[in-house]
A and B are shown apart, each in its own frame.
Chain A
Amino acid sequence: METAIITEKPNTQFSRFSRLNLEKIPDYVALYKIGDSAITESFQDIYRMREYYIFGLTRGTALTHRKDNIAARFNQLASEIEEDCMMVSFSTLISLHPSYQEIIGMSSQAVPLLIKRLDTTPNFWFKALEAIAGYNPIPKQDRGYVNKEIAHWKNWAREKKYA
């Protein structure tokens, strides 16, 4: 049986619908700030903080997921993110959500699911794809044009045999 290591979901302060606003997100930024004061210097800082979050602030208990559970778990996490972050204006902030970190932790196994999710909530998932791919296939002139961004990611997934 194939397994994938994912990070434990922390005992989060995020709630469901009632916590839908942005107010809780800075709590996580505050946690990041413990280890990194330059919280908005650049995206590299944000990514570095994210790493700190995953490896420094979670409890370190690794869970295993059977491969056939990945899709179910992914869909559960994605729905949580979509509900909690529906009013969040920046994909960078959405990517700080703990469930988002867990999806990134699924690594390449999440890619086909992320690609599929682009059809319904595209703006949520570009950051996860970029984090997993370690690469942004969207040329500068096409960035921000959502349909073009989707097309570039789908082309990338086809080239890499994910879809």
Chain B
Amino acid sequence: MPDSDIFIEQLFPVIGTNYRLTSDSDDKYNCIAYAADDMERWWEPGRYWPPNVPERIDLNSFIACYTSIGYQDCNMDSRLEPGYEKVAIFVGHFGLPTHAAKQFAECNGLW
């Protein structure tokens, strides 16, 4: 795995060098699935979505999605806390979720 990717740096111009490549891109899963530690399925309302969670693309549904697999609300506290694994749900205009990321303890809390 190379250390950097010029394509990623063009896409995200403020990323600088503060990242590392951990795997190749893979069509089998998306960021929502990856943050939920599922690298076998694509998570999205209408495709795979956890049971008993409303199948809507809105923040409440995404919070319920991660709550259903054991996460709790941490009040937007993005600091690394020993013993906890955190996910962040990114929201765009009009409150529509656009992305999710998980925190890496072994990288000093980078997302």
Which residues of A come within 8 Å of B, CB atoms? Answer: 20-23, 25-27, 29-30, 33, 39-43, 46, 87-93, 121-123, 126, 143-147, 149
The A-contacting residues of B in range 29-76, CB under 8 angstroms, are: 30-33, 40-48, 55-58
Q: List 16 A-B contacts (CB under 8 A).
A: A26-B96, A33-B94, A39-B94, A40-B56, A40-B96, A43-B45, A89-B30, A89-B98, A90-B30, A90-B57, A92-B44, A92-B57, A93-B57, A93-B98, A143-B47, A146-B28
Shortest B11–chain A CB gap in Å is: 6
Q: Is B99 an interface residue (CB 8 A)?
A: yes
- Which residue on A lies nearest to B40, using beta carbons? A145
Shortest A34–chain B CB gap in Å is: 13
**How many A-B contacts at CB < 8 Å in the complex?**
81
> A26 and B93 in contact (CB under 8 A), knowing A123-B30, A144-B41?
yes
Knowing that A92-B45, A93-B98, A146-B28 touch, tell me 4 more A-B residue pairs with CB under 8 angstroms: A39-B96, A42-B56, A43-B45, A144-B42
CA distance A149 to B95 in the complex (A): 29
Shortest A163–chain B CB gap in Å is: 20
Interface centre among B31, B56, B95, B100 (most CB of A within 10 A): B56
Q: Is B27 an interface residue (CB 8 A)?
A: yes
Main secondary structure of the interface of A (DSSP, over half): helix
Which residues of B come within 8 Å of A, CB atoms? Answer: 11, 27-28, 30-33, 40-48, 55-58, 92-96, 98-100
Interface centre among B45, B46, B94, B100 (most CB of A within 10 A): B46
User: Do A123 and B27 touch (CB < 8 A)?
Assistant: yes
User: Do B47 and A40 touch (CB < 8 A)?
Assistant: no
- Which residue on B lies nearest to A46, using beta carbons? B57
CA distance A91 to B32 in the complex (A): 12
| Residues in B whose Cβ lies below 8 Å from that of A123 | 27, 30, 42
User: Do A43 and B46 touch (CB < 8 A)?
Assistant: yes
| Residues in B whose Cβ lies below 8 Å from that of A29 | 93-94, 96
